[in-house]
Structure 1
Amino acid sequence: MDHAGRDHSAQPAGGASWGTAAQATAHCLTGCAFGEILGMVIGTALRWGNAPTMVLAIALAFVFGYSFTLYAVRKAGLGLKAAVRTALAADTVSIAVMELVDNLVIAFTPGAMDAHLSDGLFWGALLGGFAVAFVITTPLNKWMIGRGKGHAVVHAHH
């Protein structure tokens, strides 16, 4: 069962359901968004350039993404070593694809890389990147969960 009490152990014959995939992607996106926004805010506040700010934002996206899963599986009773392995197996591909897509959207949105925290363009590009990343990552998570990989590893411990 997941955090909302739904049972994901019975998957359709073709693999994971779209609902399961969307929920796994939303979980991943939440951690990524917290980390990435925090990294952008810190880098911008410290007047760092684009490259170091993006590196910090991406690093924090992974940290927060993994942390959310670590918390859930530790709460379910896994030891720390097993929880770390589970988080890495569950989230690495999803976070990596999400960050790649999101940052490409930001990088290719004219003016977004030079926008400030107070600019609508900054937030529009960031949120737009998250939306595109969600749409692209959900089918990937569906495919991985249907094959017992990715977030399916987490569901085995609930």
Structure 2
Amino acid sequence: MDHSAHHTGTAHDHAAHQDREGHAGPVTWGAAAKATLHCLTGCAIGEILGMAIGTALMWGNVATMVLAIVLAFVFGYSLTLFAIRKAGLDFKTAIKVALAADTLSIIVMELVDNGIIALVPGAMDAHLDETLFWTSLLGGFVIAFLLTTPVNKWMIGHGKGHAVVHAYH
């Protein structure tokens, strides 16, 4: 995802907009929603792929969920990593930025959407061709998006999360 639409200044420009406590200033809900949608995209790719692989291989619920969560982190970080590498950062710095930008957002997203899947009766045992599988998974993503957006708004407003990524555009 190209983050240049969010912020086009340099790292110095970005730092100049922060106050002494590291607050980046007012953050719109739209900016927070875009950051959350970015996180959700990576998480969804990883979750769906992990659930599909685990289900197709007839793995148990725990192994399938672990694979889905691991892949959610991999794809979540990868989307940010590719975007900031494209901006010219070296690999080591890009990894640090991706970890700083996405870790809390992905953790919240994963806790919420997997918690919902675990709480919906029968969802853990649903198969890929069942409506319950997809409604619980997609419903979990919607609720996770709604609960993660305020977290991202707070983080960006405090110069953390995707504010870190924006410093490199």
The TM-score normalised by the length of structure 1 is 0.94
Name the aligned partner's letter for residue 55 of structure 2.
T
Q: Does 1:19 align with 2:30?
A: yes
Partner of residue 97, structure 1: 108
In the alignment, is the contact (CA less than 8 A) between 2:7 and 2:167 conserved in 1? Answer: no
Point out where structure 1 has 5 or more consecutive residues left out of the alignment.
Answer: none
Separation (CA, whole Å) in 1 of partners of 2:28 and 2:95: 26
C-alpha offsets along residues 44-85 of structure 1, whole Å, 9 cap, x if unaligned?
000000000000000000000000000000000101010000
Point out where structure 2 has 5 or more consecutive residues left out of the alignment.
Answer: 9-13, 19-23
| Higher Rg | 2
Map 1:58-137 → 2, pairs under 5 A:
58-137=69-148
Which consecutive aligned stretches of 4+ in structure 1 deviate over 2 angstroms post-superposition?
A: 2-11
In the alignment, is the contact (CA less than 8 A) between 1:50 and 1:113 conserved in 2? Answer: yes
Name the aligned partner's letter for residue 129 of structure 1.
G
* Percent identity of equivalent pairs: 71
Provide the aligned length of Structure 1 versus Structure 2: 157
Separation (CA, whole Å) in 2 of partners of 1:20 and 1:153: 13
Q: What root-mean-square deviation, in Å, do the aligned CA atoms of Structure 1 and Structure 2 show?
A: 1.8
Separation (CA, whole Å) in 2 of partners of 1:19 and 1:4: 15
Q: Which has the higher contact order (CA 8 A, sep 6+)?
A: 2
The TM-score normalised by the length of structure 2 is 0.88
